[in-house]
Structure 1
């Protein structure tokens, strides 16, 4: 059987801490001071590099395929809350994504930026350094600009993504375990 263990790498004495119920794909790389919470999942070909600062990921969060998460050596770590969705091939750099935030595919969130609870950054958009998206706000573009506040129906629909990925991660874990 092929080794399907995810590659965890210590850096300067700090090793990743991954909750027993989290799932990290075997082709992901998790490096240094990275904490991944209960039920969270990190998909194929992601790189989470906590070398010059730390990365914290809460519970039930999904980091989809090809995403890069890094930090800033100054005072900016990367903090990702609970039940956050980070779409495929996103770049998350030295910023804060609060609970239930949603980062679209190929989007970028830069140093010091904050996405408050339930904020939605559209696919391919770039949230510039130190910008703050308010609670349940929808932003789009490069640079990203405020469009509107999401309605309850939209929030409910986007809120189904993170639990879906928790369930799907369990299926991947079981399949890879053989």
Structure 2
């Protein structure tokens, strides 16, 4: 049976680490790589058709998020979307041709546009829009439409965000085990 969540495109099939969780209803298309213990939650779309999407380890992409890339044009390479390790991406986020470094945090409903970089431990507040080419420096909090720097995050806020990323790893594994057991009665018997 073909997995409807992983869709080949132009001869390229997504690469997903065995320990990752990709929820039912998601669509992962083409040149997408998902690292160890990362999670792609329900109804996400990751479309690596005209460039690459790379997701590191222990990163969570929450429900309804759309991730795309910028195509090569005018002799350029276009823009891949590169997401590091232990990144938190909230529900209904849109990422396009951007880079999120390790431990970055993108809040609910944000838009991150082409050529943006969110450095390690930086946080984009819920509902914000990061316009093309902006860079959020490590440890900064930005918010608004368009987003602007509000302040630096405290050490406590950074620690809390890092704990939240670890919490999603455990929750994803529980979903992965539960979903497998509930969809396969024989496997379910083995788990008891």
Please, what TM-score do these two structures have when normalized by structure 1? 0.96
Structure 2 equivalent of residue 156 of structure 1: 159
Deviation of 1:6 (Å): 5.5
What is the aligned counterpart of 2:99 among 96, 101, 111? 96
Alignment of 1:4-153 (within 5 A): 7-74=5-72, 75-153=78-156
Partner secondary structure for residue 177 of structure 1: helix
CA–CA separation in structure 2 for the residues paired with 1:21 and 1:146: 36
RMSD over aligned Cα atoms: 1.0
Secondary structure, counterpart of 2:63 in structure 1 = coil
Q: Which moved more, 1:160-169 or 1:31-40?
A: 160-169
Runs of 4+ with >4 A deviation: none
Q: Point out the structure with the larger helix share.
A: 2
User: Scaled by the length of structure 2, what TM-score is found?
Assistant: 0.89
Q: Provide, for residues 52-99 of structure 1, a one-character-per-residue CA deviation record: whole Å limited to 9, x for no partner.
A: 000000000000000000000032000000000000000011000000
CA contact (8 A) 1:107 1:122 kept: yes
Distance 1:42 1:166 in 2: 11
Structure 1 gap ranges (5+): none
Distance 1:94 1:161 in 2: 25
Q: How many residues are treated as equivalent by the alignment?
A: 175
Instruction: Work out whether residues 38 and 58 of structure 1, in 8 Å CA contact, stay in contact via their aligned partners in 2.
Output: yes
Q: Which runs of 5+ in 2 are unaligned?
A: 73-77, 182-192
- Between structure 1 and structure 2, the one with the greater Rg is 2
Q: Assess if the C-alpha contact under 8 Å between 1:102 and 1:121 holds in 2.
A: yes
SS of equivalent to 1:159:
helix
